[in-house]
Amino acid sequence: MAFQQNVGLYPAPGREGAFASCNDAFAVPPPADGFRAGKNGLNMARFAWRDTTSDVLLNNTGTGKPLGFVGNEMTGIIGLFDATTMKISAGTHVSVYMTGDFWAKAVNAAAIGQKVFAVLADGTLKTGAADATVDGAVETPFVVMTAAAVGEIFKMSSWS
């Protein structure tokens, strides 16, 4: 186990990928046997797409609109040499959400009212103006509800 590298002076406002309110959140209806993480696993707090070979498998890469957002439901398995992980192992059942309020982290700064975009290459989040063209990403129904600097978490909602 690695030695602790820093100490936070204030508690975090939320956990990346966790529910950010008590508003309704609706999961994408799964196939009969449920959705499963694809062969490379699936990262929580990112967007997911159906695998091109199976409607059961999900990946953090894809084309077109993502299927939904992978919530942080503590399904990651910490490996022998990992301190933490947001990775869901290949084949593990997962839920993806098409609506709800979540804590999230983008690769750029987030301003209230911006739209959340899903990066096609890895499912990470970017923010930008509604109907904007964001390189390598597609617009999602989620909107930024709290401002955040790069690397900080913010609330996003599909209900605005």
Q: DSSP character for 130?
A: T
Q: Convert the pLDDT of each residue in 20-58 to its tens digit.
A: 999 999 999 999 999 999 999 999 999 999 999 999 999
pLDDT at 6: 81
Give the start-to-end residue ranges of the domains of the chain.
18-157
Q: Are 125 and 46 in contact (CB under 8 A)?
A: yes
Amino acid identity of residue 130, one-letter, is A
**How many other β-carbons are positioned within 10 Å of the β-carbon of residue 26?**
11
Residue 64 to residue 66: CA distance in whole angstroms: 6
Whole-number percent of the chain with pLDDT over 90: 79
C-alpha torsion angle, residues 73, 95, 102, 151 (rounded to 10): 70
pTM: 0.90
43: closest CA among 10, 63, 72? 72
User: What is the rounded average pLDDT for all residues in the chain?
Assistant: 92
What are 114-149's pLDDT values in tens digits?
999 999 999 999 999 999 999 999 999 999 999 999
